[in-house]
Amino acid sequence: MKVMLTIKCGRCKNKVLRYKKIGQGRVLRCYFSRIKKIFAPVEEGKLKCPSCGNVIGEKDNGFFKMNRDEFTYSGRKINK
């Protein structure tokens, strides 16, 4: 199952990422290769909300390790 997710800041609801997720389960990591759009700046390895500066995730080797209490998401199934 593939889902196109819109990930938003948990505090101010600003968009942070558009992400293609494969499989079910929680969003723990966002792999760079599946990020379709990034709305947020990455400063010193931290993915920050462009509006309030909330730290949504941290850069790791090939992915962002997501801070699960700091974001919300919604999505829809896609076929490709």
Provide the binding-site residues for Zn ion, judged by CB under 5 A.
9, 11-12, 14, 49, 51-52, 54
Both tokens of 57, joined, read: 């995730």
Sign of the Cα torsion 53, 33, 35, 73 reads negative
Residue reference for tokens 């800041």: 9
Residue reference for tokens 């076929």: 79
Q: What minimum distance in Å lies between the beta carbon of 54 and Zn ion?
A: 4
- CB closer to Zn ion, 6 vs 14: 14
Q: What minimum distance in Å lies between the beta carbon of 28 and Zn ion?
A: 20
Coil, helix or strand for 24? coil
- CB closer to Zn ion, 12 vs 42: 12
Q: What minimum distance in Å lies between the beta carbon of 40 and Zn ion?
A: 9
